[in-house]
């Protein structure tokens, strides 16, 4: 198992989080990265993780959205990998909700971010097949856009409006280092 403590903003390793990622040229490279991402996400929790968060500057991220228990209102997407994703379209309709990140203060800081409610994405799956998908659930769209931002060198704090910074929420008990 290749569990990697996600790189953190404000650290030397975390500088990678603010750089654009490079395209993956071979499916085997993508599969290897996806396995590391999945092992890390399974260990630390969360609903998505991008390659720069584990120190790899490549265009790939995963999501794992499961409808269960206190998250029964979520769509049951399950595990999915997006290799070389490209957002083709995003709705003008937006929604605002709290976001956190495994790479921002070890998943302890949450802030409100406005995001499009739906989108269209093109990507390659782990079998090397090119796919185009319409995402209509606002939470699923949010997770994809959050992870795709990592590939473009952005974190959710850069998407927040200045007036929302006083409402940042700190959840110290969610510190992922307690699992390490």
Annotated active-site positions, please?
147
User: What token pair was written down for 51?
Assistant: 């390659």
Comparing CA positions, the residue from 101, 126, 139 lying closest to residue 8 is 101
CA distance 97 to 180: 28
CA atoms lying within 13 Å on the CB side of residue 128: 5
SS3 96: strand
């Amino acid at each position: 198992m290749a569990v990697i403590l996600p790189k953190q903003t404000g650290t030397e390793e975390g500088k990678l989080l603010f750089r654009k990622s490079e395209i993956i040229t071979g499916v085997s490279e993508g599969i290897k990265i996806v396995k590391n991402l999945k092992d890390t996400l399974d260990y630390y929790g969360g609903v998505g993780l991008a390659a720069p968060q584990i120190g790899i500057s490549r265009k790939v991220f995963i999501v794992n959205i499961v409808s269960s228990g206190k998250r029964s209102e979520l769509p049951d997407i399950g595990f999915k990998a997006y290799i070389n994703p490209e957002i083709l379209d995003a709705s003008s309709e937006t929604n605002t909700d709290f976001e956190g990140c495994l790479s921002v203060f070890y998943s302890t800081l949450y802030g409100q971010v406005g995001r499009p409610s739906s989108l269209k994405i093109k990507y390659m799956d782990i079998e090397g097949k090119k796919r185009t998908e319409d995402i209509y659930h606002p939470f699923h769209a949010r997770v994809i856009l959050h992870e795709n931002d990592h590939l473009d060198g952005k974190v959710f704090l850069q998407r927040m409006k200045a007036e929302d910074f006083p409402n940042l929420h700190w959840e110290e008990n969610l510190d992922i280092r307690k699992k390490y």
